[in-house]
Structure 1
C-alpha cells in the first residue's frame, strides 16, 4: 500500500513559505522604523493577517522603546517588484497613506502612516485593532447594526472625498516621486461601447440604440472630466473597511487613485459591485447612504444640493458601472442554467433592473427602456429566481 503524502507536503511548503514571508516583512518593518527613528526598534509576536493582494500583512508588537510608538503596528511588505509598465501597488498604497497622513486627524479616513521605504517596499501603519469589518456587519444577523455601519461607511466616503477634492496634483507628484506611473481615467474605457454592444447582440439578441450609445459617451466624458475629482480607494469591498468607534476606516489602497467621486458614489446604488460576493440591500438603504454621503460633500460641490442634478449625475455614472461590469462578467456567465439568488448571474440581472429604475426616475427614457430589455433578456435565460439575495443581515 502506498500513502499519498503530496497534500501534506504541499501544505508544509506553503506553511514554510508563509513563515519566510512573515519574517521578511518583520525585518523590513524593523529596518524602516530604525532608520525613521534613528535607533534600533524590535518587533515581536508577529501575526500574519490574511489578504488577497500582493502584500504580506503582519501585526506585530513593539518591544519597549523610548519613542512614542503604539504598542502594536501593522507592516505591509511588497516583496515582488512591479510588472513593467503596470501600476505599482506599493507605490499606490504608500502615496495614498502619505496623502492622508498629511491631513488633520479628523479628516484621515484610514490608519496613520508611521514609516515607509521604497527600497524595502514596506509600509508601517497604525494598528486599528480587532474591530469588525463592514463584511462582518453585513453577514451577521443584526440589521440595525448593519444599517448603522453602512451609513457610517457612506459618511466616511463623503469625508474622504471632501478632504481630498483639491489634492490631485499632490497625489500625482508623490506618485511620480516613488516611481509609480500615474493612472488615467482612460483605463478600461477604451472600446467599452463597442464591446458591450457586441456582447448584448450576440448573447442576448438585444440591440443598442444610438441614443443609448450617446449616453454611454456622455458617461465616459463624465468619468474623464476634471469635475468632482477626489481620491478613491477604488477597491470598495466591505472586507476592506473597519467599523471603529470613530466611524468606518478604509484599509486597502493598493489601487488608490484620484478619479471622479461619482464613480464611488454610484457604488452606493450598486453596493460593492466589484466584490464577487456582492449581494443586495433592502429598499431605501441606498437612498439613505447617498443622503449621508451628500451631507459630507455638498459644501465642496454645491451643485449636488439639487436633487434632480445629483440623481442624473449618479445615474449616468451608474450606467457606466453596469456597462463595465457587463463587459467583464457576461462572457463568463452560464446562460443555459437557472441562476441562484447568490450568484454573479443574479447580480447582473439585478443591476440592470436597478439601472432601468433609476434611469426612469431621472427621465433618461432611452436608457430606462434599453436597460429593461437587457434585464428581461437575462432573466428569460436565467430563470425565475434571478434576483440577487439580500445580505444575511437583512434577510
Structure 2
C-alpha cells in the first residue's frame, strides 16, 4: 500500500477516526483539532472525542509523520514500536503517553493526552535550589523506574520492530555517535590549543563500548532534552521516541548529569544536586541491577558515560554550525556553546577527581579553562 500524506488537518483527523474505528470496532468522531506544532516533518494535533460508544479519554493527541526519507521512516517505526512496548508495562511504569492506535502505512500515532503539562525546561526556569533539587530527583526516579521495568527486555522490543516490518536493531543508534569521537582531540587542539594525552584517548576508546555493549541495558527514548520531558499530574513523562531502543542505563543518567549533550541546555547542577539524582536513580534500579549499589561498580561506569557525552557534545557544539545553533536557540535552558561546554567539562573534572582518575580530571580542567577564556570568564 502506498500512503498519501497531506498536511490537511481535516485529512489527518479523518485518518485517525478510521484507525480508531478499525481498532475498536465502533464509530469514533473527533472534533475541534488544535495544532500543537510539529517539526516541519510531522503534524501534531490535539482533538476532542466528540462521539464514542466506548470509553476513551476526553482528548487525544494525533501525530502523523510526513518525512519519507529513510531516517524518517526508521524514526516512525522506532517510535511506534516504543509506544507499543511501553503499553506492555504496568500503568505506573509507563514512561510516556499511552498508545491508543496507530497505522504503519500512514505513519500515524494516536496517543493519550498529558494535558497542558509543562516541560522540564520551563519548570526549572527560576526555581529556587530546593524546589529544583526535588524536581531533578523526581526526574531521576522516573528514569530509574523506566530502566528497572525494562531491564532485560530487549528481545521483546526487537519482536515489535520485526512486526512493524522493520529490520532495525533494538540497540539505540550508536554507530554514527561512535564515529565522531576520534575527531575530538584534533578539534580541541585546533580550536582551543589543548592537547589530549594518549591515556585519556585510550580511556575514551574503552568507554565507548558502553554505546553498544553495555551490561546494564534498558529501554531509552534516546532523544533526552528538557523540552522533551514534561511533568503532568501523573508525574515525569518522556516524549519523542523516534530513536527509542536499548542501551546501557548509565548512559541515560550520564546524559542528564552533563545537562543533555545533544542540545545546549544547561541545568546548572550543583554537586549536591548531582549526587541526589544519582541516589534517586540508583534506588529505583537496584532491584534488577543490585550490582549498581556498589560504588566501585557504579561510579567508574558513570564516569565513562559522562566522559562519552562530554566528548560527543564537544564534537557537536564546538565547531561553528549555524544550522544547528538555529535549531537549538529556542530551547528554554539554552546557553552559548562555549558556556555549555565549559560547564560540562567542569562537571567531568569533578567526577573524575572523585574516583581518582587524575589524567581525565587534569585534561578536563585544561579544556574547561580554555573554554572559559573564550567566554571571558576567568573564574
After superposition, residues 4-19 of structure 1 pair within 5 angstroms as: none
* Residues 329-340 of structure 1: pairs in structure 2 closer than 5 A: 329-332=317-320
| Cα offset, 1:23, TM superposition | 2.4
Structure 1 residues 85 and 77, CA, compared in 2 at 3 Å: closer, same or farther?
A: closer
Q: How does 1:54-203 map to 2 (within 5 A)?
A: 54-81=41-68, 83-84=69-70, 88-183=74-169, 184=171, 185-203=173-191
Flag the 1:186–1:125 CA change in 2: closer, same or farther, 3 A.
closer
Q: Distance in 1 between matches of 2:161 and 2:316?
A: 28
In the aligned structure 1, how far is the partner of 2:109 from the partner of 2:195?
49
Q: Which residue in the other structure is 1:361 paired with?
A: 354
RMSD across aligned positions (CA): 2.2
Matched, 1:347 2:353: no
**Correspondence 1:213-292 to 2 at 5 A:** 213-292=201-280
Secondary structure (helix, strand or coil) at the match of 2:55 reads coil
Of the two, which has the highest radius of gyration?
Answer: 1
Match for 1:299 among 287, 293, 296? 287
Task: Tell me the SS of whatever aligns to 1:44.
Answer: strand
* Equivalent residues of 1:78, 1:121 under 8 A apart: yes
Alpha-carbon distance change, 131 to 145 in structure 1, aligned in 2, over 3 angstroms: farther
Q: Which runs of 5+ in 1 are unaligned?
A: 1-18, 335-340, 388-395
Question: TM-score, length-normalised on structure 1?
Answer: 0.85
Q: Is residue 279–residue 342 contact of structure 1 (8 Å, CA) maintained in 2?
A: no
Q: Structure 2: how far apart are the matches of 1:366 and 1:220?
A: 17
Shifted more, 236-245 versus 31-40: the winner is: 236-245
User: 1:326 aligned to 2:317?
Assistant: no
Change (3 A) 1:144 1:359: closer
Shift of 1:145: 3.9
Contact 2:60 2:113 in 1 (8 A): yes
Secondary structure of 1:253's counterpart equals coil
1:370 corresponding residue in structure 2: 363
Which residue among 12, 24, 37 is the counterpart of 1:50? 37
1:56 aligns to what SS in structure 2? Answer: strand
What are structure 2's unaligned runs of at least 5 residues?
1-5, 323-333
Aligned residues: 361
Alpha-carbon separation, structure 2, partners of 1:371 and 1:149: 28
What's the TM-score once normalised by structure 2's chain length?
0.89
Give the structure 1 partner of residue 3 of structure 2. Answer: none
Describe the superposition over 1:48-105 as per-residue Cα deviations: whole angstroms up to 9, x where unpaired. 1134373211111112221111111111111332x23666221111111100101111
Question: What's the secondary structure of 1:57's corresponding residue?
Answer: strand
Residue 283 of structure 1 and its aligned partner are, at CA, apart by: 3.9
> What is the SS of the residue equivalent to 2:319?
helix
Say if 1:326 and 1:348, in contact at 8 Å, map to a contact too.
yes
Question: How far apart, CA to CA, are the structure 1 residues paired with 2:202 and 2:45?
Answer: 48
Counterpart Cα distance in 1 of 2:275 and 2:166 = 37
| Greater CA drift, 251-260 or 84-93 | 84-93
Q: Which moved more, 1:46-55 or 1:248-257?
A: 46-55
CA contact (8 A) 1:333 1:345 kept: no
Instruction: Provide the C-alpha distance between the structure 1 equivalents of 2:65 and 2:279, rounded to a whole number of angstroms.
Output: 38
Correspondence 1:34 to 2:21: yes
